[in-house]
Chains A and B, each alone.
Chain A
Amino acid sequence: QKEVEQDPGPLSVPEGAIVSLNCTYSNSAFQYFMWYRQYSRKGPELLMYTYSSGNKEDGRFTAQVDKSSKYISLFIRDSQPSDSATYLCAMSASSNYQLIWGAGTKLIIKP
């Protein structure tokens, strides 16, 4: 079983829709959870950073962590064509920063 599973997509939705992106993981020791956005041939850009369980909201983005289910989500409200990118989840068990990455979900927002 892979440590982090993420559906590669592509996920195509109309502009204005609510987008839900998810990752599951197997290592119960993971405590740090991140979502990155990556445009084609660019570096990952940190969107959300969460420690342990719970929700975090930042503008149109909401990150949820459910450690009991080993499941994390990123919600994007009022999606825009500029949100079209690959979204990567990443997580680690400790602060030594061997981040374990999901494969990334390619998101396409259609105008």
Chain B
Amino acid sequence: EPEVTQTPSHQVTQMGQEVILRCVPISNHLYFYWYRQILGQKVEFLVSFYNNEISEKSEIFDDQFSVERPDGSNFTLKIRSTKLEDSAMYFCASSTRDGGELFFGEGSRLTVL
């Protein structure tokens, strides 16, 4: 069964460092998303991406965040200068169409020290 894959599964970084989280969405999906979940808290929307551009972003998605689809398969989330409060699980999701069912990856756990 096709699935969304994410790497790394866990990354530990020092505050102020840049981090890139990678996602490979399901191959025929066109809409891509990043969500995050701070330990013990709700899942929060970060950004949606379609046709090589951001279609929607939340207040959390400030200038330190960026997304990119560098090739036909990868979808990346870059955090330019990590802060302690960026420690969370970051989930990538994809769907076939706008308003379609979202399929999530297993997440990348980011720990900022």
Q: Does any Cβ of B come within 8 Å of A76's Cβ?
A: no
B56 pairs with A98, CB closer than 8 A: yes
Q: Does any Cβ of A come within 8 Å of B19's Cβ?
A: no
Interface residues of B in 13-71 (CB under 8 A from A): 31, 33, 35, 41-45, 48, 55-56, 58
Measured CA separation A28–B49 after assembly (Å): 26
A43 pairs with B91, CB closer than 8 A: yes
Determine the chain B residues whose CB is within 8 A of the CB of A101 once the complex forms.
42-44
Q: How large is the interface on B (under 10, 10 to 19, 20 to 34, 35 or more residues)?
A: 20 to 34
Closest chain B CB from A103 CB (angstroms): 5
Measured CA separation A59–B95 after assembly (Å): 23
When C-beta atoms are compared, the residue in chain A nearest to B57 turns out to be A98
Q: Is the interface of A mostly helix, strand, loop or mixed?
A: loop
Closest chain B CB from A52 CB (angstroms): 12
Closest chain B CB from A6 CB (angstroms): 9
Q: How large is the interface on A (under 10, 10 to 19, 20 to 34, 35 or more residues)?
A: 20 to 34
When C-beta atoms are compared, the residue in chain A nearest to B31 turns out to be A97
When C-beta atoms are compared, the residue in chain B nearest to A48 turns out to be B101
Measured CA separation A46–B91 after assembly (Å): 13
Q: Which of A19-27, A60-68, A88-96 contacts B (4 or more CB under 8 A)?
A: A88-96
24 inter-chain pairs at a CB distance below 8 angstroms, sorted by A residue, are A34-B101, A36-B104, A41-B89, A43-B89, A43-B104, A43-B105, A43-B106, A43-B107, A44-B43, A44-B91, A45-B104, A49-B101, A95-B98, A96-B48, A96-B55, A97-B33, A97-B99, A97-B102, A98-B45, A98-B56, A101-B42, A101-B44, A103-B41, A104-B42
Query: 8 tightest CB-CB pairs across the interface, nearest first?
Result: A95-B99, A43-B104, A95-B98, A101-B43, A43-B106, A43-B107, A96-B56, A49-B101
